[in-house]
């Protein structure tokens, strides 16, 4: 039996506070639901849970343009109405509304992805999870497809500072166009996207879209048809990814785990079960390469929460009871109250011949590439903004103030909402009153 993986899980409870709009299908609240299930199953005790630092505007401009970030940092619903000429350039209508707190939401998502990449770079984790990330459509100069900041590109740029090659894998029902476009001309990132192709957003990702210049051959697109089920998906997924890993030999894998490829999604048109979706995560974990799992699409929120909780268990190596434990959002999972997203009897338009033909095209593409393209040897550059790894930063803080028992980062990572320490709100309130009275009585 192999050693248990060191897993770091990024979560900021504020992420569930943001709202794209009442009728908008994207619901950040789903991250709070997923985390509640993770905690109810006790998975939080099997990994390091860290509140991510918020990304700064300077960090976001490592990929995004200055003018776009300047607008995004100040936009509100009122500003968008007053400046329609700017809103029409940087935002994409109803898909990407200027909701209250949009920039703060982006700093949480991107902050976790940048911090997670640093954690892998410094050898502090084998597996990192940030379900608030995975916003793969955002472009350098504009929002797109519910995505404002491309946290995935920012994470990969961070990983490339220490790793010669990075694989980006996308199992969202939509093509990972924003990430592919960012690395379309380089041979240091191999992007692999399994997606619905045809009359479907964003309309890109043809099997013959393979990259240009030095990046020619390093963009791999697997266009799929409606209704693909678990068996058909694995029939093409496993051979393609095994060949990618053998040919490219990456130092790290970034995996976008969008759940709109599940059966019954409000927007998606695939027919994967929860187990079929998670089988992809299990397969990539088996290579033993540092793995960074991110969220993404997913619009039937009870199924998003179920699947990401289940995939968190896969990553930490735990078996879960199929009967859901009681949690903060238990009523959402009725009437069955089980950890399951079953496939339906939807027709599968992906014939064996079609999948074989697509796999053969991709095999030929990979065969033409050199094994593990080399990169000129160079010393790893200093971290952005002088930031060290978590462990190094903790040591520096404790050296500067030996009386402290833990660093500010360690204290912040252990922050728990007061209510979670008590069996009832009444007990929490009573203790808070007692503490307040004691403070008033304390000698000055």
The residues carrying an active-site annotation are: 137
| CA–CA separation, 82 and 78 (whole Å) | 6
pLDDT of residue 97: 97
pLDDT in tens, 4-44: 789 999 999 999 999 999 999 999 999 999 999 999 999 99
Q: Is 256 left (phi over 0), alpha (psi -120 to 50) or beta?
A: beta
Taking only the tens place, the pLDDT of each residue in 62-117 is 999 999 999 999 999 999 999 999 999 999 889 999 999 999 999 999 999 999 99
Query: Which has the closest alpha carbon to 231: 263, 283, 271?
Result: 271
Mapped onto helix, strand or coil, the DSSP state of residue 423 is coil
For range 324-338, the mean pLDDT: 97
Check residue 382 and give its pLDDT. Answer: 64
pLDDT for 191-250, tens place per residue?
Answer: 999 999 999 999 999 999 999 999 999 999 999 999 999 999 999 999 999 999 999 999
Residues 275-319 pLDDT 10s:
999 999 999 999 999 999 999 999 999 999 999 999 999 999 999
Q: At what angle do helices 102-121 and 151-159 cross, to 10 degrees?
A: 20
- At how many degrees (to 10) do helices 29-40 and 301-316 cross? 40
Distance of CA 60 to the CA centre of its chain: 16
Beta-bridge partner residues of 393: none
In this prediction, residue 426 has a pLDDT band, given cuts at 50, 70 and 90, of: very low
Beta strands (DSSP E) in 374-440 are: none
d(CA 12, CA 51): 5
Q: What is the model's pTM?
A: 0.88
Tell me the per-residue pLDDT of 247-269, one tens digit each, with 9 for 90 and over: 999 999 999 999 999 999 999 99
Report residue 263 CA to chain centroid gap: 20
Residue 28 near residue 105 (C-beta atoms within 8 A): yes
* Secondary structure of 99-113 in HEC code, one letter for each residue: CCCHHHHHHHHHHHH
Question: Is the pLDDT assigned to residue 127 strictly greater than 70?
Answer: yes
Q: Which two tokens stand for residue 151?
A: 């946290």
Do 73 and 65 contact (CB within 8 A), yes or no? no
Q: Which residue has the higher pLDDT, 102 or 427?
A: 102
243 close to 282: Cβ distance less than 8 angstroms: no
Q: How confident is the model over 154-165, as a mean pLDDT?
A: 98
- 146 has a pLDDT exceeding 90: yes
Spell out the residues 6+ positions from residue 312 whose beta carbon is closer than 8 angstroms to its own: 9, 34, 38, 43, 47, 129
Q: Could you tell me the pLDDT band of residue 438, with boundaries at 50, 70 and 90? A: very low
E strands within 281-395? 291-294
Higher pLDDT, 266 or 400: 266
Neighbours of 426 (CB within 10 A): 9
CA dist., res. 191 & res. 193, Å (int): 7
What tokens appear for 258 in the block?
């969008």
Tokens of 138: 């955002």
């Amino acid at each position: 039996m192999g050693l248990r993986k060191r897993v770091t899980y990024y979560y900021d409870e504020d992420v569930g506070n943001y709202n794209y709009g009442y009728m908008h299908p994207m619901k950040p609240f789903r991250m709070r639901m997923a985390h509640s299930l993770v905690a109810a199953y006790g998975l939080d005790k099997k990994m390091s849970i860290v509140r991510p630092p918020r990304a700064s505007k300077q960090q976001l401009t490592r990929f995004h343009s200055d003018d776009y970030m300047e607008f995004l940092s100040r936009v509100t619903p009122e500003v968008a109405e007053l400046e329609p000429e700017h809103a029409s350039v940087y935002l994409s209508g109803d898909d990407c509304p200027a909701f209250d707190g949009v920039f703060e939401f982006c700093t949480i998502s991107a902050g976790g992805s940048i911090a997670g990449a640093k954690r892998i770079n410094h050898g502090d984790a084998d597996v990192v999870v940030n379900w608030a990330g995975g916003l793969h459509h955002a472009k350098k100069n504009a929002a797109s497809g519910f995505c404002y900041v491309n946290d995935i590109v920012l994470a990969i740029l961070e990983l490339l500072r220490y790793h010669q090659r990075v694989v980006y894998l996308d199992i969202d029902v939509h093509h990972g166009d924003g990430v592919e476009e960012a690395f379309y001309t380089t041979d240091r990132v191999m992007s692999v996207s399994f997606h619905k192709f045809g009359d479907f957003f964003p309309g890109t990702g043809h099997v013959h879209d393979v990259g240009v210049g030095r990046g020619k051959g390093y963009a791999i697109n697997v266009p799929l048809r409606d209704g693909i089920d678990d068996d058909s998906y694995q029939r093409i997924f496993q051979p393609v990814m095994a060949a990618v890993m053998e040919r490219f030999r990456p130092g790290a894998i970034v995996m976008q785990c969008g759940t709109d490829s599940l059966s019954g999604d409000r927007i998606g048109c695939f027919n994967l079960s929860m187990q079929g979706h998670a089988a992809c995560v299990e397969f990539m974990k088996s290579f033993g390469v540092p793995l960074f799992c991110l969220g993404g699409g997913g619009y039937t929120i009870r199924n998003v929460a179920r699947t990401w909780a289940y995939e968190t268990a896969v990553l930490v190596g735990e078996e879960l009871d199929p009967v859901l434990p009681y949690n903060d959002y238990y009523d959402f999972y009725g009437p069955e109250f089980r950890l399951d997203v079953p496939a339906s009897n939807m027709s599968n338009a992906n014939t064996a011949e079609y999948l074989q033909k697509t796999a053969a095209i991709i095999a030929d593409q990979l065969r033409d590439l050199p094994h593990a393209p080399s990169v000129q040897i160079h010393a790893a550059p200093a971290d952005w903004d002088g930031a060290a790894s978590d462990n190094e930063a903790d040591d520096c803080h404790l050296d500067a103030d030996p009386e402290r028992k833990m660093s500010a980062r360690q204290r912040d990572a252990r922050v728990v909402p007061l209510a979670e320490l008590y069996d009832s709100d009444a007990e929490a309130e009573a203790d808070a009153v007692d503490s307040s009275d004691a403070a008033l009585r304390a000698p000055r």
